[in-house]
Amino acid sequence: MTRGYDPQKKGMGPGQRKRNSRHEPWKLESDEVAKKWELVSIRRLLMAIQSNGDPGFKSQARNVLGRLEAALEGDPEAVTLASRMVMRKVRKPWVQHAGKLVRASKGHTISFGALLPRHLELTEEEFEAFDAEAEKKAFKSFLNRRGIAKHKGWLIAVLHGEYDSFRKLWRVHWHILACHEMIKVIDGLRTEPDFKKSKRERPRVRRSREPLVNIPRIVSYLLQAWWPNRPSGKFGDAPKEGRTDHRMGIVGLPHARWLIWMDGRKLSDLVMLVGLRRTTSGFKMTQL
């Protein structure tokens, strides 16, 4: 969840100009915009292949490049989360189902936020080897040890991240949507070492306190098609270090590494459900 951007508020979103007809109500990219960004990814990946001499990297990048080009041509067999075209198709029903779930849970408190575990601040080398599926399983086991299965409600947690081009770090985190008693479990994480805030840090457990509005924006923000670059450091005449509020695109070799990493993921690697089961018609509640 990004400081400086509140998906509950109307108006400008992350990397988004004034809303227009290109954007559907749940803030998905139009086909036109998705194709534009697909071409950008292809161009950047080609440049990375030309500038990097590592044979292993070149082989991985060319494989991803082929899938991006196939997705751009509309090949239904092109399945890769590195593709903006594919992610648009993945996100559309997911966002619709999540919105339907929120409406069906009317009468229960629902909170939106982010969890920023300390151990998920990764170097570039650590990110390349980062296993999202293993992390999801470990996090779910951690929550189970805290007795989350005994609480009523539901929780959706989606892995997301951002790159810090100044410090050469990846900050992976969870976007969350929690209902009813699951909110208490989330609040309880503040005492855990991995989530405990130090004096100079931003809170590592962050959630909304007011009733949710702009639900389509919130559920679309949970599962995003891109990760931003947000440098941190001392900027201009600022008296202390901080992070930019502006979400920029990742470029160069880090962007190529991210495409390769996303290409190796499945949606199930990135999404954790508690008290829910997903079916073809939507989310089914199991603990409410």
**Dihedral class, residue 31 (left if φ above 0, else alpha if ψ from -120 to 50, else beta):** alpha
| pLDDT score recorded for residue 199 | 82
Residue 120: band (very low, low, confident or very high) from pLDDT cuts 50, 70, 90: very high
Task: Give domain limits for the chain.
Answer: 31-285
Residue 27 has pLDDT above 80, yes or no: no
Residue 13 has pLDDT above 80, yes or no: no
Residue 29: band (very low, low, confident or very high) from pLDDT cuts 50, 70, 90: confident
Q: Using alpha carbons, select from 32, 16, 27, 60 the residue that is nearest to residue 249.
A: 16
Mean pLDDT throughout 211-220? Answer: 89
What per-residue string of b and e applies to 240-258 under the rule 16 or more CB within 10 Å gives b?
A: eeebbeebeebeebbbbbb
Start-end of H helices in the chain: 31-51, 55-72, 84-104, 124-128, 132-145, 182-188, 215-222, 252-263, 267-270
Are the CB atoms for 157 and 272 separated by under 8 Å? yes
Average pLDDT, the chain: 88
Rg (CA), the chain: 19
Which DSSP symbol is given to 20?
-
DSSP H or E segment with residue 205? strand 205-207
Q: Using alpha carbons, select from 115, 110, 117 the residue that is nearest to residue 183.
A: 110
Residue 200 has pLDDT above 70, yes or no: yes
The larger pLDDT score, comparing residue 240 to residue 180, is at 180
